[in-house]
Amino acid sequence: MFPFTPNMAYYYHPPATVAVAPPGEVPMNPVPPMAMAPPLAVLPQPDFSITAKRRREDAEDAAAYAGCETDDSAPRKRAKGQDIIFRIVVPSRQIGKVIGKEGCRIQKIREETKATIKIADAIARHEERVIIISSKESDNTVSDAENALKQIATLILKEDDSPAEASKVVAAGHVAANTVRLLIAGTQAGSLIGMSGQNIEKLRDSSGATITVLAPNQLPLCASAHESDRVVQISGDVPEVMRALEEIGCQLRFN
């Protein structure tokens, strides 16, 4: 007898009629060799239960992977309605370029971007001023605050009417030409720099700009309100500075 298992199919062959001849004679209908085969032929069948299980597991893995993609991107964004805040440091002699006559330029930026823009008072007469830009988080790829930040930076980087005036600006603020400086929290500075400086090095490579996080003893007076604040200084050609500012603004938005 052949052992019976659930996944084996059995096919029954009826026994053949054996012709018996008298002694010494040849039978008229000899039995072919195939007729002497075992009455049962055993054929292995695929295990459909295993196949179904594998398909189910593959479907679950695909669903889990899709969920991971969604969950991986969503938490990086601030909750809708939270404030996005940027603080840009402007030398006192350049603040006029941003504000404009009777505040016309800064008001135009407010109207175009819908961002809230405030200009802090100067601590000293010839010291830098801090412009605080904020907006609510939304589903937009670029926030209102980021748009306002770029417009203000464009005004800061705009060439002065005369080389003499430009040299005064550099001398007064002790800042190289084509430079934008952002005031950020200490926790943001750590995220911007990254482990072993990997993040900031990537920003330098991708933008081509010179990006430096100033040491605590290099902070301007306008940053003295919070001891943990740091200044990110971006310098280079104008396109490089703007490219770096855009990337840094995007990163700060999510941190």
Q: Based on the structure, what is the number of domains in the chain?
A: 2
Domain annotation covers residue 2: no
End position of a domain, from candidates 75, 95, 127 = 75
Do 85 and 36 have their domain in common?
Answer: no
Structure tokens at 17: 């009629």
* 8 Å CB contact between 137 and 143: yes
Domain annotation covers residue 189: yes
Task: Find all residues with CB under 8 Å of 209, minimum gap 6, and list them.
Answer: 203, 234, 235, 236, 237, 240, 241, 243, 244
* 8 Å CB contact between 142 and 149: no
pTM exceeding the 0.75 threshold for the entire prediction = no
Do 65 and 107 have their domain in common?
Answer: no
Domain annotation covers residue 144: yes
Residue 135: C-alpha distances to residues 29, 222, 237, 250 (Å): 101, 22, 28, 14
The strand pair at 83-90 and 179-184 is best described as antiparallel
Q: Please give the chain's pLDDT, 255 residues, in tens.
A: 555 555 555 445 555 555 555 666 655 555 555 545 555 555 556 555 555 544 543 433 333 233 323 233 333 555 555 789 999 999 888 999 999 999 999 999 999 999 999 998 877 776 789 999 999 988 888 999 999 999 999 999 987 654 444 444 444 445 567 999 999 998 899 999 999 999 999 999 999 999 999 988 888 877 766 678 899 999 999 999 999 999 999 999 887
Helix (H, G, I), strand (E, B) or coil at 21: coil
- φ/ψ of residue 118, rounded to 5: -125, 140
End position of a domain, from candidates 51, 75, 99 = 75
Helix (H, G, I), strand (E, B) or coil at 125: coil
- Give the range of the structural domain holding residue 212, as residue numbers without chain letter: 80-253
Over residues 83-107, the pLDDT tens digits come to 899 999 998 889 999 999 999 999 9
Do 104 and 151 have their domain in common?
Answer: yes
Report how far residue 107's alpha carbon sits from residue 99's, in angstroms, rounded to the nearest whole number.
8
